[in-house]
């Protein structure tokens, strides 16, 4: 019961009832009844104006001030979510909270210039705005910071959003990977994607003629979408100003602590589903997730699109993690992202762009296992048949080369590819006449490997080098003239002396 109403109730009831009985009926103290009973109307009005009504946010006052001191520019919406998480009894709406913190925020908030971000027409035609951003985030309460880089994707009609995060500046391949994740998150590819003049998309512009980054242009052609670039130095030429990057910074990144980039990514998916895409948008007055149902039929879904949760980053040792175990991936995919798909007790691993299967493993019942395929740690871009054909072609003028290749394959069935690749290197290194000498001896051995072939060829090479040295020595012996003083006897000189006499 409010103050003015309480005053009039007490005045009315005191005409008929005692102080004690009035207090009992109104469930207030006898002191309050006496105080109001003795006040005149003007005095009561003045008194009630001086009284400050207690707010349900008062119990969280210290928490609110601590947050505003650490994050002075945090939005009221986000701060209210944090307050309600700590104080579940608080049920007030954001407008009441915004009024409550207005006076508190003054002593903490810094002046901040406005950031402009472009948006487009509200037409249901499958158009997406793409904006890069960066932000320093808090690692822990000690004040440690880490810079994160991100790209936001916002549909022009529904305002549904996705954001890709990483801890390094974007290169073209990273930018493409961000698009692929967005395609999977939305379940398809839009008709148009609108960009600022970032070098990740545009090389140069003249007379509004745009030269696109070649790699990105190939990507756009493959996935059949049209890149649209706004005028240079004028992001507002896209249309209305959408604060997508600012919204991500203020409502998601700012005001929280993260441990690493992976924690940012995981938290972002929760934030997108529960907050960003589930809010009542200020412009449309509807939830983006609901409006997107009208926009989704316009997407191109012909490519293999998987849920965002079904991708993994292959580590530098060629392994991915899945449900407590490590699984090997072909060496070509190290430090790249792949798709995973579980069917019963089999884990399928697929190429990120094409969806082509690149590996599959049986899933063990126990945890902490390393499930490896030896072939994954070899370069499998060429088949065994292709390498065999190449080696055979290089040795085509050598007798017995086919028997040599067949014997190496028979004697080394588990490492055929590596043996043939090594044999190919030896063919390039040593001349044909060396092979003609080595092959008969090699075929006489009970078992051969490429390492043995290398040793035999090295021996042949040394033999040829020694023969050359011997030939040179022989030549030097024959080249000494018979008239040399070294070959003349003493008698030859004595005859010369006699002739002079």
Q: Which of 358, 359, 352, 357 is nearest to 183 (CA)?
A: 352
Please state, in angstroms and rounded to a whole number, the distance separating the CA atoms of residues 340 and 323: 12
Note the pLDDT of residue 368. 87
Q: 123: alpha, beta or left, given left = phi > 0 and alpha = psi -120 to 50?
A: beta
| Each residue's pLDDT tens digit, 308-335 | 457 788 888 889 998 889 999 988 888 8
Q: What is the DSSP letter of 363?
A: P
- Going from the first residue of the chain to its last (501 residues), give the mean pLDDT of each consecutive group of 10, the final group possibly shorter: 73 85 85 83 71 73 83 85 86 84 76 49 75 86 83 91 93 89 90 82 57 80 85 50 79 87 91 91 87 89 57 85 90 85 87 81 90 76 80 88 92 87 88 91 92 92 86 61 52 53 47
Q: Are 190 and 296 in contact (CB under 8 A)?
A: no
Please state, in angstroms and rounded to a whole number, the distance separating the CA atoms of residues 176 and 216: 7
Domain 127-298 -> CATH class: alpha beta
Note the pLDDT of residue 49. 64
Note the pLDDT of residue 122. 59
Please state, in angstroms and rounded to a whole number, the distance separating the CA atoms of residues 136 and 359: 38
| Each residue's pLDDT tens digit, 66-87 | 888 878 888 888 888 888 888 8
Note the pLDDT of residue 483. 52
Q: What is the CA angle 450-454-460, rounded to 5?
A: 140
Helices (H), 160-278: 172-186, 214-223, 244-248, 261-271
Residue 349, H or E segment: strand 346-351
**Cβ atoms within 10 Å, residue 137:** 21
Q: Where are the domains of the chain?
A: 3-50, 58-105, 127-298, 308-377, 384-478
Note the pLDDT of residue 53. 62
Q: Kindly tell me the burial class for residue 90, based on how many C-beta atoms sit within 10 Å of its own C-beta (0-12, 13-18, 19 or more).
A: middle
Report the predicted TM-score, pTM, of the whole model to 2 decimal places.
0.46
- In the numeric block, which tokens belong to residue 427? 């063919």
């Amino acid at each position: 019961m409010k103050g003015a109403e309480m005053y009039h109730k007490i005045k009315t009831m005191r005409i008929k009832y005692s102080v004690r009985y009035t207090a009992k009926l109104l469930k207030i103290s006898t002191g309050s009844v006496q105080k109001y009973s003795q006040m005149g109307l003007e005095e009561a009005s003045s008194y009630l104006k001086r009284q400050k009504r207690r707010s349900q946010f008062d119990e969280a006052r210290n928490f609110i001030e601590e947050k505003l001191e650490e994050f002075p520019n945090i939005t009221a919406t986000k701060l209210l979510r944090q307050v309600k998480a700590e104080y579940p009894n608080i049920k007030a709406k954001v407008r009441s909270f915004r009024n409550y913190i207005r006076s508190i925020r003054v002593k903490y908030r810094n002046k901040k210039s406005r950031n402009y971000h472009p948006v487009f027409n509200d037409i249901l035609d499958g158009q997406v705005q793409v904006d890069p951003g960066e932000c320093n985030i808090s690692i822990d309460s000690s004040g440690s910071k880490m810079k994160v880089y991100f790209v936001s994707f916002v549909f022009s009609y529904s305002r549904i959003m996705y954001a890709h995060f990483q801890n390094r500046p974007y290169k073209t391949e990273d930018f493409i990977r961000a698009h692929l994740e967005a395609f999977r998150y939305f379940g398809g590819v839009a008709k148009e994607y609108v960009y600022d003049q970032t070098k990740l998309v545009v090389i140069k512009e003249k007379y509004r003629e745009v030269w696109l980054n070649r790699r990105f242009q190939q990507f756009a052609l493959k996935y059949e979408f049209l890149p649209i670039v706004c005028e240079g130095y004028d992001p507002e030429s896209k249309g209305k100003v959408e604060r997508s990057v600012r919204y991500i910074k203020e409502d998601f990144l700012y005001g929280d602590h993260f441990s690493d980039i992976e924690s940012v990514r995981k938290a972002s998916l929760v934030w997108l589903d529960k907050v960003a895409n589930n809010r009542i948008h200020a412009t449309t007055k509807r939830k983006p997730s609901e409006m997107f149902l009208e926009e989704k039929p316009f997407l191109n879904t012909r490519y293999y699109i998987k849920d965002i949760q079904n991708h993994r980053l292959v580590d530098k040792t060629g392994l991915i993690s899945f449900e407590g175990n490590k699984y090997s991936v072909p060496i070509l995919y190290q430090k790249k992202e792949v798709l995973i798909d579980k069917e019963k007790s089999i884990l399928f691993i697929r190429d990120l762009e094409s969806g082509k299967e690149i590996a599959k493993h049986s899933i063990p019942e126990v945890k902490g296992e390393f499930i490896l395929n030896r072939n994954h740690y070899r370069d499998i871009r060429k088949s065994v048949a292709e390498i065999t054909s190449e080696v055979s072609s290089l040795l085509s003028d050598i007798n017995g080369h086919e028997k040599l290749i067949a014997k190496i394959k028979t004697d080394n069935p588990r490492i055929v590819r590596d043996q043939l690749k090594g044999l190919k290197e030896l063919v390039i290194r040593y001349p044909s006449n060396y092979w003609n000498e080595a092959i008969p001896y090699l075929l006489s051995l009970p078992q051969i490997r490429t390492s043995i072939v290398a040793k035999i060829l090295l021996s042949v090479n040394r033999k040829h080098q020694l023969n050359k040295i011997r030939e040179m020595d022989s030549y030097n012996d024959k080249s000494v003239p018979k008239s040399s003083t070294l070959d003349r006897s003493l008698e030859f000189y004595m005859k010369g002396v006699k002739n002079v006499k």
